[in-house]
Homo-oligomer: A and B are copies of this chain.
Protein backbone atom coordinates (compact mmCIF):
# COMPACT_ATOMS: atom_id res chain seq x y z
CA UNK A 1 0.00 0.00 0.00
CA UNK A 2 1.61 3.20 -1.17
CA UNK A 3 0.94 6.73 -0.06
CA UNK A 4 -1.04 7.41 -3.19
CA UNK A 5 -4.70 7.13 -2.43
CA UNK A 6 -7.19 5.30 -4.63
CA UNK A 7 -9.16 7.88 -6.58
CA UNK A 8 -12.75 6.87 -6.14
CA UNK A 9 -15.87 7.83 -8.05
CA UNK A 10 -19.43 7.14 -6.97
CA UNK A 11 -22.05 6.95 -9.71
CA UNK A 12 -25.57 7.60 -8.47
CA UNK A 13 -24.42 9.28 -5.30
CA UNK A 14 -27.76 10.78 -4.28
CA UNK A 15 -29.34 7.58 -2.99
CA UNK A 16 -28.95 5.99 0.41
CA UNK A 17 -26.18 3.64 -0.70
CA UNK A 18 -24.34 6.62 -2.15
CA UNK A 19 -24.55 8.44 1.15
CA UNK A 20 -23.28 5.37 2.98
CA UNK A 21 -20.32 5.06 0.62
CA UNK A 22 -19.43 8.66 1.35
CA UNK A 23 -19.84 8.18 5.10
CA UNK A 24 -17.50 5.18 5.05
CA UNK A 25 -14.96 6.49 2.57
CA UNK A 26 -14.70 9.88 4.30
CA UNK A 27 -12.34 8.31 6.83
CA UNK A 28 -10.76 5.63 4.65
CA UNK A 29 -7.02 5.95 4.99
CA UNK A 30 -6.25 4.87 1.42
CA UNK A 31 -9.13 6.21 -0.65
CA UNK A 32 -10.21 9.63 -1.78
CA UNK A 33 -13.52 10.61 -3.34
CA UNK A 34 -12.84 12.51 -6.56
CA UNK A 35 -16.11 12.06 -8.43
CA UNK A 36 -19.77 12.10 -7.49
CA UNK A 37 -22.49 11.79 -10.11
CA UNK A 38 -26.23 12.26 -9.80
CA UNK A 39 -27.96 13.04 -13.04
CA UNK A 40 -31.11 14.68 -11.73
CA UNK A 41 -29.23 16.65 -9.10
CA UNK A 42 -26.15 17.52 -11.13
CA UNK A 43 -24.63 20.83 -10.15
CA UNK A 44 -25.77 20.67 -6.57
CA UNK A 45 -23.46 20.16 -3.63
CA UNK A 46 -23.69 16.75 -2.01
CA UNK A 47 -24.44 18.36 1.35
CA UNK A 48 -27.69 19.73 0.04
CA UNK A 49 -28.92 16.24 -0.69
CA UNK A 50 -27.42 14.75 2.47
CA UNK A 51 -27.01 17.54 5.04
CA UNK A 52 -25.55 15.17 7.62
CA UNK A 53 -22.38 15.07 5.52
CA UNK A 54 -22.35 18.73 4.47
CA UNK A 55 -19.19 19.43 6.47
CA UNK A 56 -17.12 17.08 4.32
CA UNK A 57 -14.99 18.46 1.56
CA UNK A 58 -16.54 16.75 -1.46
CA UNK A 59 -16.72 17.34 -5.19
CA UNK A 60 -19.95 18.81 -6.53
CA UNK A 61 -22.22 16.24 -8.11
CA UNK A 62 -22.10 16.15 -11.89
CA UNK A 63 -23.75 14.22 -14.70
CA UNK A 64 -22.13 10.93 -15.72
CA UNK A 65 -21.35 12.24 -19.18
CA UNK A 66 -19.33 15.04 -17.60
CA UNK A 67 -17.00 12.64 -15.78
CA UNK A 68 -13.27 12.72 -16.45
CA UNK A 69 -12.50 9.01 -16.28
CA UNK A 70 -8.75 9.55 -16.48
CA UNK A 71 -8.71 10.90 -12.95
CA UNK A 72 -10.52 7.90 -11.52
CA UNK A 73 -9.11 4.54 -10.39
CA UNK A 74 -12.16 2.96 -8.91
CA UNK A 75 -15.90 3.25 -9.42
CA UNK A 76 -18.75 2.37 -7.12
CA UNK A 77 -21.81 2.13 -9.31
CA UNK A 78 -25.01 2.79 -7.36
CA UNK A 79 -27.27 3.37 -10.34
CA UNK A 80 -30.70 1.79 -10.79
CA UNK A 81 -30.65 -1.64 -12.41
CA UNK A 82 -31.15 -1.59 -16.13
CA UNK A 83 -29.17 1.58 -16.85
CA UNK A 84 -26.17 0.14 -15.09
CA UNK A 85 -25.15 -2.37 -17.73
CA UNK A 86 -24.58 0.22 -20.38
CA UNK A 87 -22.72 2.60 -18.09
CA UNK A 88 -20.31 -0.04 -16.86
CA UNK A 89 -19.76 -1.38 -20.36
CA UNK A 90 -18.66 2.10 -21.35
CA UNK A 91 -16.05 2.59 -18.63
CA UNK A 92 -12.38 2.56 -19.64
CA UNK A 93 -10.50 -0.61 -18.80
CA UNK A 94 -8.17 0.92 -16.21
CA UNK A 95 -11.06 1.45 -13.82
CA UNK A 96 -12.05 -1.24 -11.39
CA UNK A 97 -15.70 -1.41 -10.49
CA UNK A 98 -17.96 -2.57 -7.71
CA UNK A 99 -21.52 -2.53 -8.96
CA UNK A 100 -24.17 -2.21 -6.27
CA UNK A 101 -27.09 -2.75 -8.65
CA UNK A 102 -28.65 -6.09 -9.53
CA UNK A 103 -27.44 -5.93 -13.12
CA UNK A 104 -24.54 -8.35 -12.91
CA UNK A 105 -25.62 -10.55 -10.01
CA UNK A 106 -27.39 -13.24 -12.00
CA UNK A 107 -24.93 -15.25 -14.02
CA UNK A 108 -27.48 -17.19 -16.03
CA UNK A 109 -28.88 -15.19 -18.94
CA UNK A 110 -32.24 -16.93 -18.93
CA UNK A 111 -32.73 -16.36 -15.24
CA UNK A 112 -31.86 -12.71 -15.68
CA UNK A 113 -34.41 -12.33 -18.44
CA UNK A 114 -37.08 -14.17 -16.50
CA UNK A 115 -36.80 -11.89 -13.47
CA UNK A 116 -35.94 -8.58 -15.09
CA UNK A 117 -38.07 -8.91 -18.19
CA UNK A 118 -35.41 -7.93 -20.71
CA UNK A 119 -32.32 -9.29 -22.38
CA UNK A 120 -29.14 -8.45 -20.56
CA UNK A 121 -27.37 -5.61 -22.38
CA UNK A 122 -23.82 -6.66 -21.55
CA UNK A 123 -23.63 -10.45 -21.45
CA UNK A 124 -20.02 -10.45 -22.62
CA UNK A 125 -19.00 -8.36 -19.67
CA UNK A 126 -20.76 -10.75 -17.34
CA UNK A 127 -18.04 -13.32 -17.97
CA UNK A 128 -15.44 -11.28 -16.20
CA UNK A 129 -17.70 -10.32 -13.30
CA UNK A 130 -17.13 -11.87 -9.86
CA UNK A 131 -19.91 -12.18 -7.31
CA UNK A 132 -18.71 -10.18 -4.34
CA UNK A 133 -19.88 -11.89 -1.21
CA UNK A 134 -16.44 -11.27 0.20
CA UNK A 135 -16.19 -14.00 2.82
CA UNK A 136 -17.28 -16.65 0.31
CA UNK A 137 -15.49 -15.50 -2.84
CA UNK A 138 -12.51 -13.55 -1.53
CA UNK A 139 -9.88 -15.02 -3.80
CA UNK A 140 -11.84 -14.36 -6.95
CA UNK A 141 -12.71 -10.88 -5.79
CA UNK A 142 -9.03 -10.12 -5.31
CA UNK A 143 -8.43 -10.70 -9.00
CA UNK A 144 -11.58 -9.18 -10.42
CA UNK A 145 -11.95 -5.98 -12.39
CA UNK A 146 -15.72 -5.93 -11.98
CA UNK A 147 -17.47 -7.17 -8.87
CA UNK A 148 -21.20 -7.56 -8.57
CA UNK A 149 -21.98 -6.57 -5.01
CA UNK A 150 -24.59 -8.91 -3.50
CA UNK A 151 -28.11 -7.80 -2.75
CA UNK A 152 -29.04 -6.95 0.79
CA UNK A 153 -31.24 -9.98 1.36
CA UNK A 154 -28.90 -12.54 -0.25
CA UNK A 155 -25.94 -11.74 1.99
CA UNK A 156 -26.91 -13.15 5.42
CA UNK A 157 -28.63 -16.25 4.09
CA UNK A 158 -25.69 -17.23 1.89
CA UNK A 159 -23.28 -16.70 4.75
CA UNK A 160 -25.50 -18.85 6.96
CA UNK A 161 -26.12 -21.73 4.58
CA UNK A 162 -23.11 -21.98 2.30
CA UNK A 163 -20.83 -23.82 4.76
CA UNK A 164 -23.69 -26.15 5.68
CA UNK A 165 -24.66 -26.95 2.11
CA UNK A 166 -21.07 -27.48 1.09
CA UNK A 167 -20.79 -30.15 3.77
CA UNK A 168 -24.28 -31.55 3.08
CA UNK A 169 -25.32 -30.91 6.67
CA UNK A 170 -28.65 -29.43 5.65
CA UNK A 171 -30.96 -30.25 2.78
CA UNK A 172 -30.82 -28.01 -0.25
CA UNK A 173 -34.56 -28.38 -0.73
CA UNK A 174 -37.24 -27.13 1.62
CA UNK A 175 -35.38 -24.01 2.68
CA UNK A 176 -37.57 -21.25 4.06
CA UNK A 177 -36.19 -17.74 4.47
CA UNK A 178 -38.51 -15.41 6.34
CA UNK A 179 -36.86 -12.00 5.99
CA UNK A 180 -37.64 -8.70 7.67
CA UNK A 181 -36.18 -5.48 6.31
CA UNK A 182 -36.06 -1.83 7.22
CA UNK A 183 -37.46 0.75 4.82
CA UNK A 184 -34.18 1.97 3.38
CA UNK A 185 -34.02 -1.28 1.45
CA UNK A 186 -36.61 0.23 -0.86
CA UNK A 187 -34.53 3.28 -1.64
CA UNK A 188 -35.16 7.01 -1.49
CA UNK A 189 -37.61 7.50 -4.36
CA UNK A 190 -40.91 8.80 -3.01
CA UNK A 191 -43.71 6.24 -3.09
CA UNK A 192 -46.97 6.24 -1.18
CA UNK A 193 -46.21 2.89 0.40
CA UNK A 194 -42.97 4.17 1.88
CA UNK A 195 -44.38 7.26 3.59
CA UNK A 196 -43.82 7.42 7.30
CA UNK A 197 -47.51 7.17 8.08
CA UNK A 198 -47.82 4.06 5.90
CA UNK A 199 -44.85 2.23 7.38
CA UNK A 200 -44.83 3.10 11.08
CA UNK A 201 -46.53 0.85 13.62
CA UNK A 202 -47.11 -2.11 11.37
CA UNK A 203 -45.65 -4.91 9.32
CA UNK A 204 -46.60 -6.54 6.07
CA UNK A 205 -45.31 -9.14 3.69
CA UNK A 206 -44.47 -8.08 0.14
CA UNK A 207 -43.20 -9.83 -2.93
CA UNK A 208 -44.10 -13.08 -1.20
CA UNK A 209 -43.02 -15.94 -3.39
CA UNK A 210 -41.76 -13.62 -6.11
CA UNK A 211 -39.06 -11.24 -4.93
CA UNK A 212 -36.12 -10.62 -7.28
CA UNK A 213 -33.60 -11.56 -4.63
CA UNK A 214 -34.92 -15.14 -4.63
CA UNK A 215 -33.03 -16.21 -7.79
CA UNK A 216 -29.86 -14.56 -6.49
CA UNK A 217 -30.09 -16.53 -3.26
CA UNK A 218 -30.89 -19.71 -5.15
CA UNK A 219 -27.88 -19.19 -7.40
CA UNK A 220 -25.58 -18.90 -4.39
CA UNK A 221 -27.06 -21.89 -2.65
CA UNK A 222 -26.77 -23.91 -5.84
CA UNK A 223 -23.08 -23.04 -6.05
CA UNK A 224 -22.69 -24.29 -2.48
CA UNK A 225 -24.77 -27.44 -2.76
CA UNK A 226 -23.98 -28.45 -6.30
CA UNK A 227 -27.65 -28.93 -7.07
CA UNK A 228 -30.49 -26.75 -8.27
CA UNK A 229 -32.24 -24.97 -5.45
CA UNK A 230 -35.68 -23.43 -5.21
CA UNK A 231 -36.37 -21.64 -1.96
CA UNK A 232 -39.25 -20.07 -0.18
CA UNK A 233 -38.24 -16.44 0.25
CA UNK A 234 -40.72 -14.22 2.06
CA UNK A 235 -39.68 -10.65 2.76
CA UNK A 236 -41.53 -8.29 5.11
CA UNK A 237 -41.35 -4.51 5.45
CA UNK A 238 -40.64 -3.30 8.96
CA UNK A 239 -41.04 0.09 10.66
CA UNK A 240 -37.33 0.75 10.97
CA UNK A 241 -34.78 2.47 8.73
CA UNK A 242 -32.02 -0.05 8.65
CA UNK A 243 -31.51 -3.70 9.29
CA UNK A 244 -32.40 -7.08 7.95
CA UNK A 245 -33.19 -10.10 10.05
CA UNK A 246 -33.55 -13.45 8.37
CA UNK A 247 -35.12 -16.42 10.11
CA UNK A 248 -33.96 -19.41 8.15
CA UNK A 249 -35.74 -22.72 8.58
CA UNK A 250 -33.95 -25.78 7.26
CA UNK A 251 -33.93 -29.53 7.57
CA UNK A 252 -30.77 -31.21 8.69
CA UNK A 253 -29.34 -34.27 7.01
CA UNK A 254 -29.88 -37.52 8.89
CA UNK A 255 -28.00 -37.68 12.12
CA UNK A 256 -26.89 -34.07 12.13
CA UNK A 257 -27.56 -32.07 15.30
CA UNK A 258 -28.15 -28.34 15.76
CA UNK A 259 -25.03 -28.25 17.90
CA UNK A 260 -23.00 -29.53 14.95
CA UNK A 261 -24.53 -26.91 12.72
CA UNK A 262 -23.46 -24.29 15.20
CA UNK A 263 -19.97 -25.66 15.47
CA UNK A 264 -19.42 -25.70 11.73
CA UNK A 265 -20.53 -22.10 11.34
CA UNK A 266 -18.53 -20.94 14.36
CA UNK A 267 -15.39 -22.55 12.99
CA UNK A 268 -15.90 -21.29 9.49
CA UNK A 269 -16.20 -17.69 10.57
CA UNK A 270 -13.82 -17.73 13.54
CA UNK A 271 -11.20 -15.68 11.70
CA UNK A 272 -13.58 -13.38 9.88
CA UNK A 273 -13.55 -9.77 11.04
CA UNK A 274 -17.15 -9.05 10.07
CA UNK A 275 -19.03 -12.28 10.73
CA UNK A 276 -19.76 -13.38 14.28
CA UNK A 277 -21.50 -16.57 15.28
CA UNK A 278 -23.25 -16.18 18.64
CA UNK A 279 -23.14 -18.84 21.37
CA UNK A 280 -25.42 -21.78 20.62
CA UNK A 281 -29.04 -20.93 21.36
CA UNK A 282 -28.58 -17.15 21.26
CA UNK A 283 -30.24 -15.02 18.57
CA UNK A 284 -29.08 -11.66 17.26
CA UNK A 285 -30.79 -8.26 17.00
CA UNK A 286 -30.62 -5.95 13.99
CA UNK A 287 -30.06 -2.96 16.26
CA UNK A 288 -26.78 -4.46 17.41
CA UNK A 289 -25.24 -4.15 13.94
CA UNK A 290 -26.78 -0.82 12.93
CA UNK A 291 -24.34 1.32 11.01
CA UNK A 292 -21.66 -1.38 10.99
CA UNK A 293 -20.41 -4.01 8.57
CA UNK A 294 -21.11 -6.93 10.90
CA UNK A 295 -23.23 -9.97 10.26
CA UNK A 296 -24.37 -11.85 13.36
CA UNK A 297 -25.56 -15.44 13.14
CA UNK A 298 -27.42 -17.46 15.76
CA UNK A 299 -28.25 -21.15 15.71
CA UNK A 300 -31.22 -22.43 17.69
CA UNK A 301 -32.67 -25.86 18.24
CA UNK A 302 -36.10 -26.34 16.75
CA UNK A 303 -38.92 -28.19 18.52
CA UNK A 304 -39.54 -30.12 15.33
CA UNK A 305 -37.15 -33.06 15.15
CA UNK A 306 -34.67 -32.84 12.33
CA UNK A 307 -35.03 -29.11 11.89
CA UNK A 308 -32.78 -26.24 12.87
CA UNK A 309 -33.36 -22.48 12.96
CA UNK A 310 -30.70 -20.01 11.91
CA UNK A 311 -31.22 -16.33 12.56
CA UNK A 312 -28.91 -13.83 10.86
CA UNK A 313 -28.81 -10.03 10.88
CA UNK A 314 -27.00 -7.25 9.06
CA UNK A 315 -27.36 -3.55 8.33
CA UNK A 316 -28.80 -3.61 4.82
CA UNK A 317 -26.99 -0.39 3.85
CA UNK A 318 -23.60 -1.51 5.16
CA UNK A 319 -22.83 -5.22 4.89
CA UNK A 320 -25.91 -5.45 2.67
CA UNK A 321 -24.62 -2.75 0.31
CA UNK A 322 -22.02 -0.03 0.77
CA UNK A 323 -19.95 -1.60 3.52
CA UNK A 324 -19.47 -4.82 1.61
CA UNK A 325 -18.72 -2.71 -1.48
CA UNK A 326 -15.84 -1.02 0.33
CA UNK A 327 -14.75 -4.39 1.72
CA UNK A 328 -14.60 -5.62 -1.87
CA UNK A 329 -12.66 -2.55 -2.97
CA UNK A 330 -10.15 -3.20 -0.23
CA UNK A 331 -9.69 -6.76 -1.42
CA UNK A 332 -9.51 -5.75 -5.09
CA UNK A 333 -6.92 -3.05 -4.39
CA UNK A 334 -4.76 -5.12 -2.07
CA UNK A 335 -5.62 -3.03 0.96
CA UNK A 336 -6.34 -4.37 4.43
CA UNK A 337 -9.85 -5.76 4.19
CA UNK A 338 -11.20 -3.90 7.23
CA UNK A 339 -9.83 -0.51 6.26
CA UNK A 340 -12.42 2.22 6.71
CA UNK A 341 -14.90 -0.30 8.07
CA UNK A 342 -13.83 -0.25 11.70
CA UNK A 343 -17.06 1.48 12.62
CA UNK A 344 -18.87 0.30 15.72
CA UNK A 345 -22.61 -0.32 15.68
CA UNK A 346 -24.72 2.58 16.92
CA UNK A 347 -26.92 1.42 19.75
CA UNK A 348 -29.26 2.53 21.08
Contacts and interface: CB of A to CB of B under 8 A. Distances in A.
Interface of A: 16, 19, 23, 26-27, 50-56, 173-174, 176, 178, 180, 182-184, 188-192, 194-206, 208-210, 214, 230-234, 236, 238-243, 245, 247, 249, 276, 283-292, 294, 298, 300-305, 307, 309, 311, 342-348
B196 A194 contact: yes
A23 B205 CA distance: 25
A291 B346 contact: yes
A196 to B, nearest CB: 4
Q: How many copies does the complex hold?
A: 4
Contact of A239 (B173, B239, B345): B239
Contact of A203 (B26, B180, B189, B209): B180
B302 A232 contact: yes
Contacts of A52: 287-290, 292, 344-345, 347
A205 B241 contact: no
Nearest to A238: B203
Contact of A304 (B204, B210, B232, B236): B232
Contact of A290 (B182, B201, B285, B344): B201
A156 to B, nearest CB: 13
Contacts of A27: 342, 344
A201 B200 contact: yes
B200 A241 contact: yes
Top 5 nearest A-B pairs (CB, nearest first) are: A202-B287, A190-B190, A204-B285, A197-B348, A196-B199
Contacts of A19: 347
A303 B191 CA distance: 27
B183 A243 contact: no
A96 B173 CA distance: 51
A197 B182 contact: yes
Q: Which of A196, A239, A344 has the most CB of B within 10 A?
A: A196
Contact of A241 (B191, B201, B210): B201
A117 to B, nearest CB: 17
B240 A203 contact: yes
A209 B303 contact: yes
Contact of A287 (B201, B283, B307, B343): B201
